[in-house]
């Protein structure tokens, strides 16, 4: 392969390569160094690649090894590479946060001999012969001890799969609990300052990506206030995407909006893979079936993923520790926002009364984080749970004209309005979850 051809192939997959390394390496400068090392290593070895069609997966495998070497040199605890054993590990994710390590907890429950042999095999990457020499035991004994240590690890490692049919039945049961009409509610501004918010939900999906979590939410169109789409979600197990570990979530959407349907299916089932760290919550992948084909999108797929499922610079996700930044300020229904991407900020403290229940909340406003011309209010209580979510559409937004043939203010003349930097946005629908029931 000549230099010119190598350069062309590298440029075609540079974006995916950078995203992969940034997802794996917390420190920006270290990530840049590894990017350079990876490119140099690929250049030196490019003559060994016989099939250019696999260039992307080939260079990503080089990056994966470079990242593993990075953590092996820095690691203070055993790191078990996920491509060597199917029991999962947690690498340090973007922005330096580490999810509480279920791997370490699982290892701590094993006896000393089991921990020792797993450490030598997967952290030190020693061969069977080297382990035999180090422990002064026969190779046959090494094989036997390593086999049983892995079995004990698997038995202790948490994994709670739920069959799809059972998941659907649970969803129907939970959906029945949500009312056909949204309960009357009142939102009252508080004179108290916003409390520090610890918000672990996936933005727009309301569920915390943690084993054992499940949730049902429903959408209510205004001014009718009648329930339309309803979604049941459940975390069904551990999952991994390109070496990044998270959890798999089954999302079953009942009576979805037309834009959310696949081949007019009802319900529509999606599989999401999400990751929760100590600082951020983000989606790693989404899949659904359309036209008889299973379609999968991951964080490496550029705009095809980021425009629908990603959030934040390099898809870092939404922050889970929130305080007012001053990027967005609010005075009644008038909102002022800075001119910058990924606008999401705390704008005040509010009491939300729904039915007979009162919630002390902070209001988080996001402006055009996913779609141009869309804004939302999200009222989140001190448990980090969404109490009420409200969607607004910019009145001059072109897709609204194409969809409805008239501006939103004419389509919904009775609906509430807010202004953002002097531009009118019209309230469209609300979402509540079974948390408030």
CATH code where residue 147 lies:
1.10.10.10
Give the per-residue SS3 of 309-335.
CCCCHHHCCEECEECCCCCEEEECCEE
Residue 34 lies in a domain: yes
pLDDT in tens, the chain (437 residues): 677 888 889 988 888 888 888 888 877 788 888 999 999 888 888 888 878 888 888 898 899 888 888 877 765 444 444 334 433 333 333 333 333 345 666 777 788 888 888 888 877 778 888 888 888 889 889 988 888 888 888 776 554 444 444 445 555 555 557 899 999 999 999 999 999 999 999 999 999 999 989 999 999 999 999 999 999 999 999 998 888 889 999 999 888 766 666 666 778 889 999 999 889 999 999 998 887 888 899 988 877 787 778 887 777 888 999 999 999 999 999 999 998 878 899 999 999 999 889 999 999 999 988 678 899 999 999 999 999 999 999 997 666 665 667 889 988 999 999 999 999 999 999 999 999 98
Residue 83 lies in a domain: no
Does 248 lie in the same domain as 111?
A: no
According to the model, what pLDDT value does residue 415 have?
95
DSSP string, 382-429: TTS-EEEEEEEEETT-HHHHHHHSS-HHHHSTTS-EEEETTEEEEEEE
Residue 151 lies in a domain: yes
According to the model, what pLDDT value does residue 173 have?
57
> From CA 114, how far away is CA 124, in angstroms rounded?
15
Residue 79 lies in a domain: no
Task: Name the packing angle between helices 128-135 and 139-156 (round to 10°).
Answer: 100
Does 100 lie in the same domain as 245?
A: no
How many structural domains compose the chain? 3
Name which of 403, 409, 413, 402 is nearest 423 in CA terms: 409
> From CA 205, how far away is CA 345, in angstroms rounded?
18
Does 173 lie in the same domain as 106?
A: no
Considering 74, 104, 136, which residue would you say is the last residue of a domain? 74
According to the model, what pLDDT value does residue 261 have?
62
Please state, rounded to an integer, the average pLDDT across all residues of the chain. Answer: 83
Does 222 lie in the same domain as 331?
A: yes
On the CB side of 384, how many CA atoms lie within 13 Å of its CA?
A: 16
According to the model, what pLDDT value does residue 414 have?
93
Does 114 lie in the same domain as 235?
A: no
| Contact (CB, 8 A) for 16 and 241 | no
Residue 70 lies in a domain: yes
Residue 9 lies in a domain: yes
Parallel, antiparallel, or unpaired: how do β-strands 214-221 and 423-433 relate?
antiparallel
Residues in the chain: 437
Does 302 lie in the same domain as 279?
A: yes
Instruction: With residue 430 as reference, give the H or E element that holds it.
Output: strand 423-433
Residue 139 lies in a domain: yes
Distances (CA, A) of 327 to 346, 365, 434: 9, 10, 31
Does 227 lie in the same domain as 100?
A: no
Question: Whole-model pTM?
Answer: 0.68
Name which of 20, 136, 11, 119 is nearest 72 in CA terms: 119
Does 314 lie in the same domain as 346?
A: yes
Considering 19, 43, 74, which residue would you say is the last residue of a domain? 74
> From CA 90, how far away is CA 245, in angstroms rounded?
6
> From CA 181, how far away is CA 228, in angstroms rounded?
9
Does 248 lie in the same domain as 128?
A: no
> From CA 269, how far away is CA 233, in angstroms rounded?
10
Residue 86 lies in a domain: no
Q: Which domain holds residue 421?
A: 164-436
Does 144 lie in the same domain as 200?
A: no
According to the model, what pLDDT value does residue 90 have?
31
Does 353 lie in the same domain as 218?
A: yes
In this structure, what token pair is assigned to residue 188? 């009252």
Does 23 lie in the same domain as 124?
A: no
| Contact (CB, 8 A) for 321 and 364 | no
């Amino acid at each position: 392969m000549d230099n010119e051809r190598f350069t062309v192939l590298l440029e075609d997959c540079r974006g995916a390569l950078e995203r992969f390394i940034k997802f794996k390496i917390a420190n920006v400068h270290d990530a840049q160094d590894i990017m350079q090392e990876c490119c140099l290593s690929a250049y030196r070895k490019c003559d060994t690649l016989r099939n250019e069609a696999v260039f992307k997966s080939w260079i990503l495998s080089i990056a994966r090894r470079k990242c593993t070497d990075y953590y092996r040199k820095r690691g203070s605890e055993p790191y078990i590479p996920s491509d060597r054993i199917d029991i999962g590990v947690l690498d340090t994710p973007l922005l330096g946060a580490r999810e509480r390590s279920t791997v370490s907890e699982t290892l701590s429950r094993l006896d000393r001999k089991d921990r020792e042999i797993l450490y030598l095999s997967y952290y030190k990457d020693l061969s069977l012969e080297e382990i035999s020499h180090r422990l002064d035991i026969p190779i046959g004994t090494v094989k036997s001890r390593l086999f049983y240590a892995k079995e004990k690890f698997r038995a202790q490692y948490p994994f709670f799969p739920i069959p799809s049919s059972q998941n659907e039945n649970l969803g129907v049961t939970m959906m029945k609990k949500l009312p056909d009409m949204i309960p009357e509610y009142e939102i009252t501004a508080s004179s108290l300052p916003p409390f520090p918010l610890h918000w672990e939900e996936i933005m727009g999906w309301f569920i915390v990506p943690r084993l054992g979590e499940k949730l049902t939410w429903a959408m209510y169109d205004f001014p009718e206030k009648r329930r339309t789409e309803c979604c049941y979600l459940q975390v069904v197990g551990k999952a991994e995407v390109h070496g990044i570990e998270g959890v798999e979530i089954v999302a079953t959407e009942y009576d979805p909006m037309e834009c959310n349907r696949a081949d007019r299916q009802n319900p529509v089932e999606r599989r999401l893979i999400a990751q929760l760290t100590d600082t951020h919550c983000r989606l790693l992948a989404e899949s659904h079936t359309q036209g008889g084909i299973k379609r999968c999108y991951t964080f490496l797929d550029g705009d095809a993923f980021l425009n629908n499922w990603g959030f934040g610079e390099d898809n870092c996700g939404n922050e889970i520790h929130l305080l007012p930044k001053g990027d967005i300020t609010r005075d009644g229904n008038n909102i002022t926002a800075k001119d910058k991407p990924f606008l999401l900020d705390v704008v005040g403290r509010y009491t939300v009364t729904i039915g007979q229940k009162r919630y002390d909340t902070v209001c988080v406003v996001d402006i055009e984080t996913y779609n141009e011309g869309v804004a939302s209010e999200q009222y989140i209580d001190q448990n980090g749970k969404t109490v009420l979510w409200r969607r607004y559409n910019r009145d001059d937004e072109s897709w609204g004209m194409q969809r409805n043939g008239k501006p939103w203010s004419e389509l919904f003349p009775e609906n509430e309005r807010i202004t953002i930097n002097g531009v009118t946005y019209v309230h469209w629908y609300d979402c509540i979850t079974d948390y408030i029931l």
